[in-house]
Chain A
């Protein structure tokens, strides 16, 4: 009897305070959209340490990286989740693209090889996600096939989606374009680098977690 009351009150508290345990939230998107910058911003805000390195050179993240437990306490609500930051998905990799950033030829070739493996890893991890934050660069055309393929695959797997229009600090940023391209999903405009609009992002993240 005591256990029934205990379970019931735990469920009630969970419903009232929106507390969720151990859900897996993935960060997906094309290369250089700012997935790791956003993951770092969240980790710094709530765990005090970053998850990975960021760079202007595309494909800086070439392996899936995790933060086992991130606990967000926001406006009286708590969300606990496993953060999965994934390498950017692309349909082509050319080591010569990295040379433009001053990367040495041998390093560029190594980077390209690792990047191809990272993309395969990202796609294989899709099945393990319970919710996904799709991070897009708000200053770029959102109608790229990679964006459509990522979102199409999440829809096919019935995984809840939140779209983040990152880099709103840039002059060319246009959230409306992203909203028009994917009107079925909630879109939040942020700048992970400058920490702009993070409150709204956390609100949306709670809504996303509630859909799982």
Chain B
């Protein structure tokens, strides 16, 4: 699926007031495109204020060298599947608070 198609699919779900949970994470270019397309929609769709977006990844800072190596090999083979991406409409999700260890979803 192309970047445009992926972003379009996500935004269609968001516009239906759904919270999207992705296994893995979007690529940097996809995140940027998602923000761009979101802003274009804020401008054109009444009552649409934007999105809340957050990615949580396993905290590797205290992992052993071997553990970090295992993680990066797995990441290069199957992609970053250990991450979870949360995207929700700003009118439903008030805030996603993120720190390295936890993710808090505050609903409106």
Residues of chain A whose beta carbon lies under 8 Å from any beta carbon of chain B = 89-94, 112-113, 116-117, 119-120, 123-124, 126, 141, 143-146, 148-149, 152-153, 155-156
Q: Are the C-beta atoms of B52 and A91 separated by less than 8 Å?
A: yes
Interface of A is mostly: helix
Tell whether A156 pairs with B29 under 8 Å between CB atoms, given A91-B52, A145-B55.
yes
Tell whether A92 pairs with B51 under 8 Å between CB atoms, given A149-B35, A156-B27.
yes
Residues of chain B whose beta carbon lies under 8 Å from any beta carbon of chain A = 27-29, 31-32, 35-36, 38-40, 42-43, 49-55, 90, 96-100
- Considering the chains assembled together, what is the distance between the CA atoms of A12 and B76 in angstroms? 42
Interface of B is mostly: mixed
- Considering the chains assembled together, what is the distance between the CA atoms of A144 and B98 in angstroms? 7
Q: Which residues of A contact B39 (CB under 8 A)?
A: 93, 116-117, 119-120
How close is B83's CB to chain A, nearest CB, in angstroms? 11
Tell whether A93 pairs with B28 under 8 Å between CB atoms, given A141-B99, A143-B98.
no
Residue in contact with B50 in the complex, picked from A92, A113, A143, CB distance below 8 Å = A92
- Considering the chains assembled together, what is the distance between the CA atoms of A112 and B96 in angstroms? 22
Q: Are the C-beta atoms of A91 and B53 separated by less than 8 Å?
A: yes
Residue in contact with A143 in the complex, picked from B27, B49, B100, CB distance below 8 Å = B100
Residue in contact with B99 in the complex, picked from A112, A124, A143, A153, CB distance below 8 Å = A143
How close is A137's CB to chain B, nearest CB, in angstroms? 16
Q: Are the C-beta atoms of A120 and B36 separated by less than 8 Å?
A: yes
User: Closest 9 interchain pairs by CB?
Assistant: A92-B50, A152-B28, A92-B90, A116-B39, A156-B28, A149-B31, A94-B49, A153-B28, A145-B53
Residue in contact with B32 in the complex, picked from A94, A116, A117, A149, CB distance below 8 Å = A149
Q: A93-B39, A145-B53 are in contact. List 18 more A-B contacts (CB 8 A).
A: A91-B35, A91-B50, A92-B42, A92-B50, A92-B51, A92-B90, A93-B42, A94-B50, A94-B90, A113-B43, A116-B43, A117-B39, A119-B39, A123-B36, A143-B100, A145-B55, A149-B53, A156-B27
